[in-house]
Amino acid sequence: MSVRVSKHVFLIKGENEGKYPFCNCLLIDDRVKCLIDSGAGLSRMMGISMEKIDYLINSHAHEDHTFLNTLFKNVNICCHENDVVAVESVEELKRRYGQPNSEIYSLMNYFLNALNYKPSRVSLRLKDNDEFSFGDVKLRVIHTPGHSIGHCCFLIDDGDSRIIHLSDIDLTSFGPWYGCLDCDVDMFINSISKIIELIEVMNINIATSSHKEVVIGKEEIKVRLKDYLNKILNREREILKLLNTEKSIDDLVGRGLIYSRFPEPRLAYMVFEKVMIEKHIERLLRRGLVDNINGKFKVKT
């Protein structure tokens, strides 16, 4: 199932409404053909002429964006230089979730096997502001770390249409996800702010993302992004409220700060919750807002 976004650009909606372990993909159907991400699901990928794709750009290394890369033969796979190693190595991808002796590492090993996940060879290492010309369509890479160290958005010009593909700055009601070891809250905040500014300066009126519908209108896109950014800040405010008394990170897990409930596999989501809370605690310590008292944390008085 695809939605025309502009003359040459189509949003391929992922299976299960684009929810994990699937994602929406973006097809640029120009003289040179490009696909952004491959994780829409086999039924969706079979609906495009895979042999005609010239470039497959991975927005980042997470498995829901890359797990069907190997369907595409004789294609130039592209990814930001900071995420290349995790696209090319299953072991590195798993290490970004947790250390080899951890339970989350074992769970990811099981899950990637269930997906029949295979690594893929990257042909082109991307950097911030790299540009592509596919014919009428021009694309610029916008490095937006936070969700992963190599996460990228894409500014796309298609004639009179200017599109921002937000990748996993995905405007979901859940908000930003930063549950891998290479995630960074400060970087995520800066990346969202960078995109909001870009939308204003470049007068962008169309936004696509990896897990939600197309958003139309510059002001509407900015409102959605600001709401999305505020999810991070609201989580932090709730953590600070709880740290009026000393608490360990384990004390904070399960209080609904990130996930209101833990779906199955429950253990994996509890680990993600813990990692995300740890990221907030690290940020609060850097900002001098909390004290570390023998492994417990309390608002600085």
pLDDT in tens, 216-234: 999 999 999 999 999 999 9
Integer Cα distance of 12 and 181 in angstroms: 29
pLDDT in tens, 190-205: 999 999 999 999 999 9
- How do 131-133 and 215-216 pair as beta strands? unpaired
Looking at residue 74, its pLDDT comes to: 93
Average pLDDT over residues 85-92: 98
- How do 161-165 and 206-208 pair as beta strands? parallel
pLDDT in tens, 106-134: 999 999 999 999 999 999 999 999 999 99
pTM for this prediction: 0.97
Where are the chain's structural domains? 2-231, 243-299
CATH superfamily for 2-231 is: Ribonuclease Z/Hydroxyacylglutathione hydrolase-like (3.60.15.10)
The residue ranges of DSSP E strands in 44-195, in sequence order, are 55-58, 76-80, 124-126, 131-133, 137-143, 152-158, 161-165
Looking at residue 109, its pLDDT comes to: 94
SS in 3 state form for 201-236? Answer: HHCCCEEECCCCCCEECHHHHHHHHHHHHHHHHHHH
